[in-house]
Chain A
Amino acid sequence: MNALARHRYHRAAPVVLVLLLLAIIAGVAAAVSTASSADAATTATADDVTQGQKLFAANCASCHGLDAQGTTGVAPSLVGVGAAAVDFQVGTGRMPMQASGPQAIAKRPQFTQDQINQLAAYVASLGAGPAIPTAEQVDPALGDPAKGMELFRTNCAMCHGSIGGGGALTQGKYAPNLWETTPTHIFEAMLTGPQSMPVFNNANIDPEGKRDIIAYLKAQDQGSPGGLRLGSIGPVAEGMWGWLVALGLIIASTVWIGARSS
């Protein structure tokens, strides 16, 4: 949510709004046709594509190649990954990748949202792929959190934890915490299956289902009725707190009880 708030007052805000409006129109079209992908290039001007190509050549081409065909063993081809993949990878700061590790990590984005949109427009122009979702598609208020709970725990909770707190994968990889992730990025991640994550295309979890999942995750913003969450990572954290805080406080009091009064 904070990330959203930051973007709202960004100097690029008008551009983003216009683009979003255009995206809504495209989104409606996409919803009517059951096709899982819409060409984001339809919402972007030729100028965007040109700008995006420049940005790409300067920032991405060293790994992905000048024509975005990828480099074997270094970076995948980006032809057909769609605008959604670019918006997710660059918008969450995972790309450009700075250091090689088990997986690309989210960090502060290096580009403004309109630059990201230009990049996305360029990549989308290379081959049809999933588009950036519309504001309506990702609006948690329109989703059903209970339906989202069922979908989330069947498809997502095994990696991201029961309410999206995150979890470990093999060999140092991990499924990130989702509490600070924007609804758009959540949607895009499902659609494109970044890195280790499987793809949940619109035939697997339909766009309404994805929005339900977003609604479920955003329902977690209210916090836990029981008080502090202790990370929502389950009984290990509870056990630690039981020993360190509850037993710790009580043993401290036994020391006081056992000590002689002055």
Chain B
Amino acid sequence: MSTTENPTSHESADNAPESFQDPGLPYHRPRRADVDPKADKKAERQVAALFGLSILGTIIAIVSYMTLKMDGQIESIRFTNMAIGFGIFLAMIGIGLGAIHWAKTLMRDHEMVEERHELRSSDEAREGAIQNLKDGAEDSGIGGVKRRPLLVGSLVTAMLAAPLALLWPQIGNMGANWNTGEFAHTMWRKGMRLTRDPEGTPIKASDVTIGSAFHVIPEGLNDLEHGKLEEKAKAVVLLLRLDPRDLNLQPGREDWSFDGIIAFSKICTHVGCPVALYEQQTHHLLCPCHQSTFDVANGAKVVFGPAKRPLPQLPIAVDDEGYIVAQSDFHEPIGPSYWSRLKHTSDGLSSDETDGSSH
């Protein structure tokens, strides 16, 4: 491979055998409308027709708006939507196609040449700029002979500090109480019934047949005046019943489930989506957002996907009336991992020792 000089540089191009000559602008080929008056007239009519189409479109849009009645039925909304939309389509595309057709066929299409100038300012301008700045610095004492470093220093400090007066309250107020420890606790308490989402009706152990999946919220969640969604976002639980023979109880959690009925947090330990796709044959729980898969039969440990930790298990029992109740809050923060999660976990465990009912 030989190295050749830049063929587009003209300095050495003349008669130089090592590079081709720029042939210059190509020959301008006239269009039909340029040479044939009939074609010219035809193009003009086409452009006018396109503009006419636009006017028609505007009329369609306005008439549709005025005459079509939306009675709340899907059909009528769809039809109104389409009619007005089609009118706008014609109103716009008519102008667009007409103008472009006009430009392409009837406006002069001889290509013209404009010289470029280097963007760099001239040496003279640069020197002038530097001189002006120097003069200014000299006058003010920022630079030059008689410097005033005290003024410069104090001004810079003040300027850096001043935004804090604005930003401190701004940022300070935006985070509410900043108590991130709230992540670690949900509203589950000892003896609180598991109820159906969204009705809030309690569930009997006998209701949960093998293969069932109940979406669960804590009793009383629907009655909360404030923070209902915030509590729901942490407290939702999936209640499942497996054949007890399929269920491998985890060490230390032998009494957290009841005769194959087991409850796990519905909030994914990956990034917090509701893990809700339960495949009853494989006992796998799949998160539809990022497809972390948890094995319910084995303590909801991760079998596939981006999550690392098992879903937190809610310890459950059955009360005197046969309803399923929580034994306590979760024993660890639910949902995705975060920096001080372990710290909150130890907090959670210590509060759990007092039955979690001290809140």
Contact = CB atoms under 8 A, between A and B. Distances in A.
The answer to whether A and B come from one shared complex is yes
A222 B74 contact: yes
Given A150-B198, A203-B207, A261 B277 contact: no
Given A170-B279, A204-B214, A225 B78 contact: yes
A211 B279 CA distance: 23
A197 interface: yes
A173 B279 contact: yes
Interface string B280-297: 111010101001010000
A198 B293 contact: no
A90 to B, nearest CB: 19
Interface in B6-62: 31-33
A201 B239 CA distance: 14
A199 B241 CA distance: 10
B158 to A, nearest CB: 49
A260 B100 CA distance: 11
Contacts of A71: none
A196 B282 contact: yes
A195 interface: yes
Interface residues of B, number: 44
Interface string A170-214: 100101000000000000000001011111110110000000000
A145 to B, nearest CB: 12
Mostly, the A contact residues are loop
A262 B213 CA distance: 69
A251 to B, nearest CB: 15
A257 B213 contact: no
Size class of the A contact interface (CB-based, 8 Å):
20 to 34
B198 to A, nearest CB: 5
B222 interface: no
A196 B280 contact: yes
Given A150-B198, A170-B293, A201-B212, A196 B279 contact: yes
B215 A155 contact: yes
Contacts of B281: 195-196
A224 B78 contact: yes
Contact of A169 (B206, B213, B286): B286
Given A198-B211, A260-B109, A158 B274 contact: yes
A198 B74 contact: no
Contacts of B280: 193, 196-199
Contacts of B284: 170
Nearest to A157: B276
A261 B101 CA distance: 9
B204 A261 contact: no
A226 interface: yes
Between A169, A224, A256, the greatest number of chain B beta carbons within 10 A of the residue's beta carbon is seen for A169
A154 interface: yes
A154 B77 contact: no
Interface in B276-325: 276-282, 284, 286, 288, 291, 293, 304
Contacts of B204: 203
A170 B212 contact: no
Contact of A170 (B208, B211, B214, B286): B286
A195 B293 CA distance: 18
Given A169-B286, A224-B74, A158 B277 contact: yes
Interface string A100-117: 000000000000000000
A170 B278 contact: no
B75 to A, nearest CB: 7
A169 B203 CA distance: 28
A260 B281 CA distance: 64
Contact of A257 (B104, B208, B210): B104
A261 B274 contact: no
A226 B277 contact: no
A94 B159 CA distance: 75
A158 B276 CA distance: 6
A198 B212 contact: yes
A226 B78 contact: yes
A223 interface: yes
Interface in A209-262: 222-227, 256-257, 260-262
Kindly list the 4 A-B residue pairs having the minimum CB-CB distance in the complex, ordered from nearest: A203-B207, A198-B213, A225-B77, A158-B276
10 contacts: A170-B291, A170-B293, A173-B279, A193-B212, A203-B203, A203-B206, A203-B207, A204-B214, A222-B73, A257-B100
Interface of B: 31-33, 73-75, 77-78, 81-82, 100, 104-105, 109, 196-198, 203-204, 206-215, 240, 274, 276-282, 284, 286, 288, 291, 293, 304
Given A170-B282, A196-B280, A261-B31, 12 more contacts: A158-B274, A169-B279, A170-B304, A193-B280, A195-B281, A196-B281, A198-B280, A203-B206, A204-B196, A204-B212, A225-B81, A227-B78
